[in-house]
Amino acid sequence: MENIIKDFLSRFYSVSERPALEAQIELFSTESFLKGKKVLDATPVFRNTLNKYLVMLACGMDLTVGYGGKIPYDAEIVAFLRSIGVRTVENGTADETFDFVLDCAGVNADVETEYGVSELTRSGFYQYQDKNKKVFLADSSRIKSIETALGTGDGFLRAMQKLGYGDLRGRKIIIFGCGKVGFGVAMYCAENGADVYAVDDWQNRSVPHKFHMVSRFDRRQIDDLTADAFCVVSATGIYGGLTQTLDLQKLVKSDALIANIGVEDEFAGLISKKRILNDNQPLNFILEEPTHLKFIDPTMALHNAGMKILFNAADGEKFILPDEKINDFYLNIVRKHGIINKELDMLEKYSCQE
Ligand SMILES: NC(=O)c1ccc[n+]([C@@H]2O[C@H](COP(=O)([O-])OP(=O)(O)OC[C@H]3O[C@@H](n4cnc5c(N)ncnc54)[C@H](O)[C@@H]3O)[C@@H](O)[C@H]2O)c1
């Protein structure tokens, strides 16, 4: 099974795109604590997720893959997994006890587990608040911003290129929400010569000089800016997030491209999905690989590493955050053996600017 996956993946990826997972295979397969343990992995199932399962299989774990149940997935990859004998189950429906659950958005919050849960997203945190379980929160890490900021920013740019809008030089781009994802989009747009306006609540935060800071409460400035924008991007992550923030009817009539990079409908149905690129789905999801493996590899490794942390955690612990040591461990591997040093430098450069 492992070799079939490896052969399949070798058609698409080089080892340098998954340095953290590759190192983890070496590291974990020499330890016996995972051997024979049952794991349910609910990471969204796409082609690049297969790289993650190689770690579990190399350790001799009993792997079940969770798919769907509000988490996007590639049905062809689920079919491929089944065809080679990997057990799959719809998220939220497993009725057996697993040693570990590697969850996403808390969709398996009710599944029984022996050692605990490693959770991939922030929204999963809320699902586990009232559960009596040990939970490792992979989202609360510097590593995660490699995926969310760099990976999504890169995916946004590649999607714009695919649609024929890749030349951003001198173009005015207004980004609503400058959290991890919006920041990454802003960074890639600025690096490619765009005139970037970042709209958020800036009372306690600042952004790099390369972006213009716009208060989300300055309705007049926002409406003036969007009137002649090249592209308006929503990245608040909130359903209906933009309905009170700008004049949507004016936006619809303008020439601006409208793109959503978040997973919610930030326009709450007030704009026809046909007026929004990719029918209001996250723009990078028009790509075969929405987030390149090279950016998601350390996040996947950290999510897996949660199993070791849970195994060694003291009884009574509830939420466990990744510490600096584990962040540095995987970041150093990516720096040394990966191919994203230029992008990591960019992230540091932008994060340091006042
Ligand atoms: N497309 C992808 O591949 C991908 C990857 C990861 C996450 N996401 C999605 O992207 C979205 C954003 O995620 P995030 O991690 O950056 O969230 P976040 O919470 O870190 O950032 C959201 C930002 O939006 C701001 N905001 C809220 N309401 C606003 C408004 N009306 N106007 C302007 N700013 C406002 C907040 O202050 C915050 O800074 C979520 O839907 C997330 O699920 C998409």
- Chain segment 37-69, per-residue pLDDT in tens: 999 999 999 999 999 999 999 999 999 999 999
Confidence of residue 353 (pLDDT cuts 50, 70, 90): low
Q: Which residue is closest in CA terms to ligand 1's atom 9?
A: 262
Q: Is the CB of 124 under 6 A from ligand 1?
A: no
Asked whether this chain's domains 2-133+293-352 and 153-286 adopt the same fold, the reply is: yes
Under CATH, to which class is 2-133+293-352 assigned?
alpha beta
Is the pLDDT score of 354 beyond 60? no
pLDDT attached to residue 209: 77
Mean local confidence (pLDDT), 271-293? 93
Q: pLDDT tens digits for 2-36?
A: 999 999 999 999 999 999 999 999 999 888 899 99
Instruction: Give 233's strand partners.
Output: 175, 259
Q: What is the overall mean pLDDT for the chain?
A: 94
The CA distances from residue 31 to 26, 36, 333, 351, in Å, are 9, 12, 19, 37
Edge-first strand order for the sheet with 319-320 is 87-90, 62-67, 38-41, 98-103, 113-119, 135-137, 319-320
What is the per-residue pLDDT across 110-143, written as a single tens digit (0 to 9) for each?
999 999 999 998 888 989 999 999 999 998 888 9
- Which sequence spans correspond to the domains of the chain? 2-133+293-352, 153-286
* Ligand 1 centroid, distance to 283 Cα (angstroms): 14
Strand locations in the chain (E): 38-41, 62-67, 87-90, 98-103, 113-119, 135-137, 172-176, 195-200, 211-215, 231-234, 257-260, 319-320
Asked if 153 contacts 184 with a C-beta cutoff of 8 angstroms, the reply is yes
Q: What is the dotted CATH code of the domain comprising 153-286?
A: 3.40.50.720
Mutate to test the pocket of ligand 1, among 43, 120, 148 (most ligand atoms within 8 A of CB): 148
